Chains A and B, each alone.
Chain A
Amino acid sequence: MIGLSQEGFAALTPVRQALRAAAEKQAGLFRDDARIQARALLDGAKAEAAAILAAAVGEGEAAARSEAALRSARARRQAHELVLVQRNNLRLELHRRVRQAAAGLTSDPRYPLLLGRLTEQCRELLGPDAMVTEGREGGVIAEAGSRRLDISLPVLAEMALDTVPGVSELWSR
């Protein structure tokens, strides 16, 4: 390859400079454009990230709220059930004591009269041939064929507790 002469090289200098200036200008434009695009992309990405974050926060808060509501509901239910169980224990204790007290009525002077009346009731319901015996815990037990009537004192006590109005208030207050 034959190199340019000194004069020729010098004559091309303005062309080279013009080309270089144009290239630099073009590069500058590209750079600015790229910066703008990069900024726009970055802004878009940041906005999208913020939106995703906000949505995630929203969903997380909603999930946490419903989880908290669920936990508090379960805790409240457990607490309520504890109260209910205690009330039931009170009721069972009352029944136990009333049954116990009823068994003690056998020494009451009015007991023979009661026994007589209960025997009458048995015969009225099961017929005159019913076999009536005194129960172990007081009261009577009658049998006629396959039919049986248990009106022992504990059974009577349970019946009384079930029918006396306002008894439930003793444990539900």
Chain B
Amino acid sequence: MTRPDADADGSALPVPPSTGFAALVSHGDVRELRGPLLVAGGIEGVGWDEFATIDMDGGERRHGLVLEIDHDLATVQVLESTDGMSLGGIRIRFEGRPLHIPVGAGWLGRVCNGRGEPLDGGPPIAGTATLPVSGWPLNPVYREPPQEPVLTGISVVDGLTTLVRGQKLPIFSVPGLPHLTLATQIAAQATSGGRSFRVVFAAMGLTHADIAYVRDRLEERSAGGELVLLLNAADDPVIERILTPRIALTIAEHLAYAEDHDVLVIMSDMTSYAEAVREVSAARREIPARRGYPGYLYSDLATLYERCGRAKGHHGSVTIVPVVTMPAGDITHPVPDLTGYITEGQIVLAPGIAARGIYPPVDVLSSLSRLMRSGAGENRTREDHLDVAAQVLAAMARARQATELAELIGAGALSETDRSYIQYRTSVEKGLFNQGRDENRTLDDTLDRAWEALSALPENELTMVSTAFLKRYLPARDDRS
């Protein structure tokens, strides 16, 4: 029996199902244009966060997100702003679902804007599947604890705050410090012990000069097909900034769990992201909470940070390094404060250390990787790693006390041991912490430098490392037997 719409030879011109056509229905009843917002009337069956396409009379096409629904009115935030739009010359098509993106290896080596559209002149990204950018955090039951290190080639990070596959470890900084340089260096150099490693860099609210720096610095990784670059500039729409980390994580999750790569997602700067959330929340007329940020900022940040991890039955992992700039260096500011609740440690940059000409200016006594024990030590990095890291930090704490004491009573009045701690601080800062901006150190080099710095101290002060390690790794000194 032939279908009624088939012709004599039984074939018919294929007609896509009407569900596909529903997304083609356009609405022309636009009642108001207000800043980046557009209010459309006569709307039915449209939901919150739904993605929309706006067709303008001249053939130009813009995009938007549904911010609010009130009876038959839909408020849409236009991603490219409403400049040049006029009532009567606009039609809106609602996609019937939140923003979906194609996912797959097609993203690698590409440079896109904050909503995933190519900036490199190439065709739109083609994927092997289409997924919602909102994603979903990993089911706790299917989680595997983070394990094994991600080596960044940066001594102070690898040696003292080791990043672990599947961890979320933020960089806390203040404006003016080289946090972007550090994040970019991590993106350029990070590896996971010979496994297939990919990087997704989500730039949010960066200046064009910073974007140019990031592109130049990461070009090699990009040309090698190991990098996805999503660039949302400071003058790009704020709502796009809200989408950028979600798109980055959706791409990363697919690369990790469907294609078995270890994926590092760098998100810089999360404070710009949170400011975008605040702006959109104000446009939705929500009740503001601390410093004008919406009350749900914690859960909003958690829906991003919690998308990292490792999953049972999958070899890949998603590791997140967000950069958080603390306005006026205030660590109690809502963004670093809430980020600190969710993440597993922090790398803190300090202006005082940067002023001494040390790069990266990491304040090691305020920095911590809570999962370091899962990624460092015997069979993971090197047998002496954890002990030597503990010793370096303990000695830094004592050196700080000795320096404060020297400021009070003068260096001449200090004991010989205290003076050796002050000498140790200079030696560890210059030999271990200070590093070139494109210098990639092996872990062995890092740990050897740590031992070299510790050799400035009397041997009986090195109480956190075993005698066997002292014999094996501590460099010989003339005055030491």
Residues of A participating in the B interface, judged by any CB pair closer than 8 Å: 66, 69-70, 73-74, 76-77, 80-81, 84-85, 87-88, 91, 105, 108-111, 113-114, 116-118, 121, 124-126, 145-151, 155-156, 159-160, 163, 167-168, 171-172
List, in ascending order, chain B residues with CB within 8 A of A155's CB: 24
Asked if residues A85 and B122 are in contact (CB atoms below 8 Å), the reply is: yes
Are B219 and A172 closer than 8 Å at their CB atoms?
no
B27 at the interface (CB under 8 A from A): yes
**With A76-B223, A148-B25 in contact, do A156 and B120 touch (Cβ < 8 Å)?**
no
Cβ of B28: which chain A residues have Cβ within 8 Å of it?
146-148
Taking A146-B27, A146-B29 as contacts, is the C-beta distance between A73 and B118 under 8 angstroms?
A: no
Q: Are B219 and A150 in contact (CB under 8 A)?
A: no
Known: A74-B216, A149-B21, A149-B25. A88 touches B121 (CB 8 A): yes
| Shortest distance from the beta carbon of A161 to any chain B beta carbon, whole Å | 11
Q: Which of B25, B118, B215 has the most CB of A within 10 A?
A: B25
Known: A87-B122, A172-B106. A147 touches B25 (CB 8 A): yes
- The answer to whether B58 has its CB under 8 Å from any CB of chain A is no
The answer for the CA separation of A105 and B13 in the assembled complex, in Å, is 10
Is the pair A172, B123 in contact by a Cβ cutoff of 8 Å?
A: yes
- 24 pairs, CB–CB < 8 Å, chain A vs chain B: A73-B220, A73-B223, A74-B216, A74-B219, A77-B222, A80-B120, A84-B123, A87-B122, A110-B13, A111-B13, A113-B6, A113-B7, A113-B12, A116-B5, A118-B15, A125-B22, A145-B29, A146-B28, A148-B91, A149-B24, A159-B20, A159-B24, A160-B16, A168-B126
CB proximity of B14 to chain A, nearest CB, Å: 8
Complex contact A148–B26 (CB within 8 A): yes
B21 contact from A108, A121, A172, Cβ within 8 A = A121
In the bound complex, do residue B123 and residue A87 qualify as a contact, i.e. CB atoms below 8 Å apart?
A: yes
Which residues of chain A are within 8 angstroms of B80 by Cβ–Cβ distance? none
B379 touches A (CB below 8 Å): no
- What's the dominant secondary structure at chain A's contact region? helix
* A163 B16 Cβ-Cβ under 8 A: yes
B210-246: contact bitstring with A at CB < 8 Å (1 yes, 0 no)?
Answer: 0000011001101100000000000000000000000
- In chain A, what residue has the closest Cβ to B44? A147
Q: CB-CB < 8 A to A91: which residues of B?
A: 123
CA distance A147 to B24 in the complex (A): 10
* Chain B residue at minimal CB-CB distance from A84: B122
- On chain A, the residues within 8 Å of B438 by CB distance are 66
Q: Hey, which chain A residues are within 8 Å of B12, CB to CB?
A: 110, 113-114
Q: Counting CB contacts under 8 A, is B109 at the interface?
A: yes
Kindly list chain A residues whose C-beta atoms are within 8 Å of the C-beta of B14: 160
Report the separation of the CA atoms of residues A118 and B219 in the bound assembly, to the nearest whole angstrom: 49
The interface residues of chain A lying within 8 Å CB-to-CB of B5 are 113-114, 116-117
Min CB–CB distance B3 → chain A (angstroms): 10
Contacts of B215 in A (CB 8 A): 77
> Would you give the shortest CB distance from A106 to chain B, in whole angstroms?
11
Q: By the criterion CB–CB under 8 Å, are A151 and B121 in contact?
A: no
Residue of B nearest to A145 (CB): B42
Q: In the complex, A27 Cα to B29 Cα: how many Å?
A: 108
Q: How far is the CB of A114 from chain B (nearest CB, A)?
A: 5
- Contact, CB under 8 Å: A77 / B219: yes
Determine if B120 and A84 form an interchain contact, defined as CB atoms under 8 angstroms apart: yes
Q: Does B18 contact A (CB under 8 A)?
A: yes
Given A80-B109, A148-B91, residue A156 in contact with residue B16 (CB < 8 A): yes
Give complex CA distance A67, B13 in Å: 58
- Bound together, the chains give a CA A163 to CA B27 distance in angstroms of 24
Question: Are B15 and A146 within 8 A (Cβ)?
Answer: no
Q: 5 tightest A-B contacts by CB?
A: A84-B122, A168-B126, A73-B219, A146-B29, A85-B121
Instruction: Name the residue on B nearest A155 (C-beta).
Output: B24
Residues B106 and A77 in contact, CB atoms below 8 Å apart: no
The residues of A that contact B25 with a CB separation of less than 8 Å are: 125-126, 147-149
> In this complex, what residue of A is CB-closest to B11?
A110
- A109 vs B438: C-alpha distance when bound (angstroms): 67
Nearest residue, chain A, Cβ from B6: A113
* CA–CA, A87 and B125, complex, Å: 12
Closest to B9 in A: A110
CA–CA, A113 and B5, complex, Å:
6
A147 engages B42 (CB within 8 Å): yes
B10 to chain A, nearest CB (A): 11
Q: Which of B253-291 contact A (CB under 8 A)?
A: none
B109 adjacent to A149 (CB under 8 Å)? no
Partner of A70, one of B16, B29, B216: B216
Distance A160 CA – B122 CA, assembled complex (angstroms): 21
Residues of A with C-beta under 8 A to B42: 145-147
**How far, in angstroms, from A134 to B161 measured CA to CA in the complex?**
67
Q: Contacts A125-B21, A149-B24 known; A73 to B216 CB distance under 8 Å?
A: yes
Q: A85 vs B122: C-alpha distance in the bound complex, in angstroms? A: 5
Instruction: Name the residue on B nearest A166 (C-beta).
Output: B126
Least CB distance from A10 to B in Å reads: 66
